[in-house]
A and B are shown apart, each in its own frame.
Chain A
Amino acid sequence: MKRKLPRTVQEFMAYAWAMEVEAAERYAELADQMNTHHNREVSELFAKLARIEGKHRDQIMAQMGWTRAPDTSSFRWETPEGPETTDYSELHYLMQPYHALKLAEHNERRAAEFFERFAAANLPADVRAAAAEMAEDEREHVRLIEDWLARYPEPEAGWDEDPDPPAVAD
């Protein structure tokens, strides 16, 4: 499906909103996965990220004065999923908070780049302005994640070692 570029602030912010929704849902799902695998620390971290993205989502709704969620069913990202959405395949059941935060940092950077492209694109001025503002927000998020990340040193080699062989269930 050919991607349709947003021509109005309403359309553009709907994209931004969709991005946050997808990111929040994904972090919540990843929190569940980590919880099922008894990786509590990372589970809580993902749950927190889900709440943060949820706040961003709600902020957009409030800012735009929307009473109902916008219709984003025809949206398509350039990448398979939204710029802020973590790819399922990036997970490991033994992953450390460092890894989760690196993923979050990557997400925020991609989101910032995504908005920066809009800010520089051949679009109406108010759209570009909105995009620039969103890009700045995302840059701030990157800084916040970096601060958060500073608390966790890079894990040593062998963090993914599990002496037990895989178990069978069926």
Chain B
Amino acid sequence: MTEALTHTDFKSDIKPVWCPGCGDFGVVNALTKALAKMELRPENVAVVSGIGCSSRIPAYTSCYGFHGVHGRALAAGTGLKIARPDLTVIVTGGDGDGYSIGGNHFLHACRRNVDMTYIVMDNRVYGMTKGQPSPTTEPDWDSKLSPDGTGLREFHPMVIALSSGANFIARAFTGDPNGLADVIVQAVRHPGFSFVEVLSPCVTFRPEQRDWKKIVKPDAIKPTSDIARAARRMLRDTGFDLGVLYAGNRKPYAPRGERANRDASVLEARFTL
């Protein structure tokens, strides 16, 4: 009989290159704990990512990993899950990868509601390319690329997810890896597209985010399956309210229509005279 796996069994021997202090360490911690808790096996889990610091995660796990191109992780994860519904597919990435170049795929992944979990490590900056504003950066945050700030209103991923059809939406904080692990378990177990927005400080380009642990409000949001209620809750959102916002009842994506498993030669009847 195989012994139960612990979270260390889900970590690879590759040491992350993230800056000490980076919130993403908490996500690896939480993710590996969650996978062990669910008694999954590494070979049946695939971690799919795009480009950015947080997208390095797949290689730090002992699962199957896919480190693709910038912004397209949700598409790759969608294709993988539809082709291999037996796998547990976790898509990971950052706020730039997910909400900027990946924004379109984010909308449609929520609509499509394929049964997979999307974990975004949001540090409100493009870290890997040295500190440009991202869609979730405050409008007045000064940077070289956008001096005096972008002046643009921040993207609100949870609202977008809610309005686009995501079936499970939560916000968590990497400073609480055990709490995050619980949320990840809930997210993976909830059918359909589960979205977890994780506040994950970047100590190099946003050192002030070290104070996030003093600002975040744990359990500030209580889960509901009522979209209208969830939407009203978001009207009061501070950006630091943690909890499960929405756990809905949409049926997860499934190919529609009748399916069969015949030999390809049956298709010739469509052409023969």
Contact = CB atoms under 8 A, between A and B. Distances in A.
B204 A91 contact: no
A170 B52 contact: yes
B176 A73 contact: no
A93 B225 CA distance: 44
Contacts of A89: 21, 23, 175, 201, 203, 210, 213
Interface in B15-74: 15-23, 25-26, 37, 51-53, 55
For this complex, into which size category does the number of interface residues on chain B fall? 35 or more
Interface of B is mostly: loop
A36 interface: yes
Contacts of B174: 88
A37 B20 contact: yes
Which of A91, A92, A170 gathers most chain B CB within 10 Å?
Answer: A170
B205 interface: yes
A95 B177 contact: no
A160 to B, nearest CB: 10
B201 A81 contact: no
Interface in A51-90: 73, 76-77, 80-81, 87-90
A32 B8 CA distance: 14
A32 B213 contact: no
Contacts of A80: 175-179, 218
A166 B204 CA distance: 8
B129 interface: yes
Interface in B69-123: none
A135 interface: no
A49 interface: no
B152 interface: no
A93 B18 CA distance: 10
B17 A36 contact: yes
Contact of B20 (A73, A76, A91, A169): A91
A-B residue pairs, 8 tightest by C-beta? A80-B176, A91-B20, A91-B21, A33-B20, A88-B25, A170-B128, A93-B20, A32-B15
